[in-house]
Chain A
Amino acid sequence: MRTAPGGRVAGLPWAVAPAIRVLLALLATTAAGADAEPRRPRAFVGGRVLPVTSAPIEAGTVVVADGKIVAVGPTGQTPVPADAEIVDTTGRVVIPGLVDTHSHVGGGRGGDSSAPVQPDVRILDSINVRDAGLRKCVAGGLTTLNIMPGSALLVGGQTVYVKLRRADTIEGLLYRDPAGRPLGGLKMANGTNPQRDAPFPGTRGKAAAMVRQKFLAAAEYRRKMAEPDETKRPARDLELESLAECLAGTRVVHHHTHRADDILTVLRLREEFGFRVVLHHVSEAWKVPGELARAGVPCSVIVVDSPGGKIEAMDMSLATGAVLEEAGVPCAFHTDDPITDSRLFLRSAALAVRAGMSREKALEALTIVGARMLDLEARVGSLEPGKDADLVVLSGDPFSARTKVLSTWIEGERVFDRDDPADRLLAVGGYGAGRDQHAEWCCAGGDYR
């Protein structure tokens, strides 16, 4: 059994200004509900527990309190607090909340069609948290998402990492850094999607040149902003600031790319500028596993039912996960919702297992590897003491077509319950399932279902 260091709460760095601390505290209070009573601990008892970062436990107990996991271990050897609410998981399978590294739910739109490079645009400014698609995610066991702008631009805008808590505004869903800033990456794309008439690139070579020019400007901006004398610093530029964060490694580039040569182009730019990058979709990653392994660049893979649909995806293979595993390349999956349905995210990994990936790596690819791609592995992606209490109770084997998500829990609170008719409607579909604002915590007092 492993337990968390007693009572330690992640503190803010001493350097954070007191005013920001107060603001953060207020935000935290709002998100949790101002009048929330102290939450009872919960214990999920008796089920098969797949912690991901440690060995499966055939009959296990997961204890959560104050939104965190406090213990994971075999039932009977894992103390359960006397006041804990018991959730019987006998015959069930308990896994960490799933991490989707690439989603378009929430109706958000990033950069527009006015220019090919728009690193200043934030998708978080456009997301409808009452979108039915967000609630369908929790019906599929997803708890953490990277919501991305589309791939029609070279730089489509800033992505946002969200936790699918019950909230009325996007602020309630955000992950934040210690200074209170929303966490997210930067969406980039190459290949055919961003190509069209000027001012967009017409060729792959032009696309790379435009990106290089912009990163050179960002490097220069970053150098000048480091000037000790504030008066000598340039005026703040939101576009260059976002790219400079990528150069500093505090913002990860999430790069749409399909063809093997496009993948190698991203690796070349990364080598030149030193940004941190996750490659997304990677239809032809199976052709260049050695190059990917040498670069140590992680890949987030989409799994779809057939190759093609566009020329760049003609050589897509269900075996990409297996090839990357063999090569030692970190591999996660994503839904690209609406390209694949978030409610069927487990299926992506199951099809990869069909094509030769190990079950262990396939489950990691839905959880901890995705968390690492978002720099959130200290908080989510596995069942470990000290991590956020985000977990999913399944009816059985994660990779069986028959398995259902029975309940989804975020920070210790249930956000999806298949036995609840409103939640079941989202999980299964049916009349009204597509309506937004389909949430009982919305619009207090009214029945808007």
Chain B
Amino acid sequence: MSPPLPRRPRHLAAFLAAACLTLPAARGETLAVMGRLVHTMQGAAIPDGVVIVADGKIAAVGPAAGTPVPEGARVVRADVVTPGLVDAHSVVGLAGWLNQDQDQDQLDGTEPIQPELRAIDAFNPRERLVEWVRGFGVTTLHTGHAPGALVSGQTMVVKTAGEPPTVLRPEAMIAVTLGDTGRPEGDKKAPGTRSKSVAMLRAELLKAAEYRRKRADPDAAKRPAPDLRLEALARVLAGEIPLLVTADRATDIASALRLAEETGVRMVLDSAAEAYLLLDRIRAAGVPVIVHPTMRRAGSGETENASFETASRLRAAGIPVALQSGYENYVPKTRVVLFEAAVAAANGLEADGALAAVTIDAARILGVADRVGSLEPGKDADLALFDGDPLEYTTHCTGVIVDGRLVSDGPR
């Protein structure tokens, strides 16, 4: 095993970036990805398996012994093969690695409620952190506007490679933050309390309901002028897109569930540090949880009661759960969902649960399971290759395939 060109890591990154931009024929390349163990996430893992990739899609999956390899296919070998990882919540691509004003587009602090802000208008696919997380097997990112405002904007689901990268969902969810982290700084700025946050959100949803009713008027002349803000929330009320509610304290999680029940909107809970206190209510509400990074800093206040075991307790309670790299505002600027999965696995989620939480279960929560999250014929050819147990710190990601193209060949 050799270190990843330690003396010149930036040059390696540049080389890889160049490599993936200068292989125009690669998309059509036929690959046979052989693994000592292939985790399809559809049934048991296949020992000595092979994944056949053609035209950017998975053509076949099965034991190497019984799966024909097309003539001319390029053979790629790995110890362990998994579906490309799905990072269920990040801000990477809007938030850049330098953490300077010019590369921080994940949060606009001018107004508390801005559901009209689209992630696709700010996502930079060439951001170094996108390449960084991809090197650890991440092929799909749910990224967008960050926690930190009552309604900060929209999110998107996008691949981590491609020119341009495939956008699976341009308007995935609308990001809401309850509790301390959703409040702006300054004495006179609203919302200033937890109650005020909920009141403002209810009022805005009521306004959107009224707008939606009037916009449906058969008489076009009587319809109000299009309003991007209310339009976005009207889509939430119509059930087209869910609210992604970041809430850590049990108080705030309960408020979110109350709001979901009152308005009937679809909801996905995010972060949810104290979710273990409300397992029955979350399950009854049918709300999935994209739990905070397993290794989240405990800190004080909102997150002081965070637990390494939250993901495993949610899953044991029958609640759909996915893992995320989350939002960081300093060093490191992003976490790596592969490592979060490792720690979650070690803390009760076990290997199967942890892999599911960064592949198929994450894809289902994001509404993209028809395309990614498992290795099945017809799905996008997104794969991650490892030289050992992917849930060990010392294992390397030796290759990443996105839409059928080998975009990095590590090891990282």
Q: Is residue A315 contacting chain B, with contact meaning CB distance below 8 A?
A: yes
State the interface size on chain B (CB cutoff 8 A). 51
Answer whether A355 and B6 are a contact pair too, CB < 8 Å, given A306-B332, A431-B305: yes
Q: Is residue A378 contacting chain B, with contact meaning CB distance below 8 A?
A: no
Q: Is residue A217 contacting chain B, with contact meaning CB distance below 8 A?
A: no
Q: Is residue B9 contacting chain A, with contact meaning CB distance below 8 A?
A: yes
Q: Is residue B328 contacting chain A, with contact meaning CB distance below 8 A?
A: yes
Q: Is residue A23 contacting chain B, with contact meaning CB distance below 8 A?
A: no
Q: 21 A-B contacts, Cβ less than 8 Å apart?
A: A286-B7, A306-B335, A307-B332, A307-B333, A308-B129, A308-B332, A309-B331, A310-B99, A341-B298, A354-B393, A354-B394, A356-B2, A356-B6, A401-B343, A402-B346, A402-B392, A404-B346, A429-B305, A429-B308, A431-B274, A433-B305
B308 touches A308 (CB 8 A): no
Q: How many angstroms from the CA of A434 to the CA of B299 in the assembled complex?
A: 8
- CB neighbours of A429 from chain B (8 A): 298, 305-309
- CB neighbours of B128 from chain A (8 A): 307-308
- CB neighbours of B328 from chain A (8 A): 309
A-B contacts counted at CB < 8 A amount to 141
Contact of B331 among A136, A304, A351, A403 (CB under 8 A): A304
Nearest neighbor of B2 in chain A, beta-carbon distance: A356
User: Interface size class for chain A?
Assistant: 35 or more
Q: Is residue A175 contacting chain B, with contact meaning CB distance below 8 A?
A: no
- CB neighbours of A347 from chain B (8 A): 393
Most buried by B among A309, A344, A429: A429
Contact of B3 among A305, A322, A339, A401 (CB under 8 A): A322
Considering the complex, which residues of chain B in the window 1-28 have a beta carbon less than 8 Å from any beta carbon of chain A? Answer: 1-4, 6-7, 9-10
B6 touches A286 (CB 8 A): yes
Q: How many angstroms from the CA of A32 to the CA of B343 in the assembled complex?
A: 36
Q: Is residue B336 contacting chain A, with contact meaning CB distance below 8 A?
A: yes
- CB neighbours of B345 from chain A (8 A): 401-402
Q: How many angstroms from the CA of A310 to the CA of B346 in the assembled complex?
A: 31
- CB neighbours of A5 from chain B (8 A): none
Kindly provide the distance from the CB of A94 to the nearest chain B CB, expressed in whole angstroms.
20
> What 14 additional pairs, Cβ within 8 angstroms, besides A309-B97, A310-B331?
A286-B9, A306-B129, A306-B333, A308-B98, A309-B333, A311-B99, A315-B10, A319-B4, A319-B6, A429-B298, A429-B306, A430-B276, A433-B304, A435-B304
- CB neighbours of B266 from chain A (8 A): none
B97 touches A355 (CB 8 A): no
Nearest neighbor of B354 in chain A, beta-carbon distance: A401
Kindly provide the distance from the CB of A272 to the nearest chain B CB, expressed in whole angstroms.
29
**C-beta contact mask, B79-99 vs A, less than 8 Å → 1, else 0?**
000000000000000001111
- CB neighbours of A318 from chain B (8 A): 4
B347 touches A428 (CB 8 A): yes
Kindly provide the distance from the CB of A129 to the nearest chain B CB, expressed in whole angstroms.
17
Answer whether A401 and B342 are a contact pair too, CB < 8 Å, given A317-B6, A323-B6, A356-B6: yes
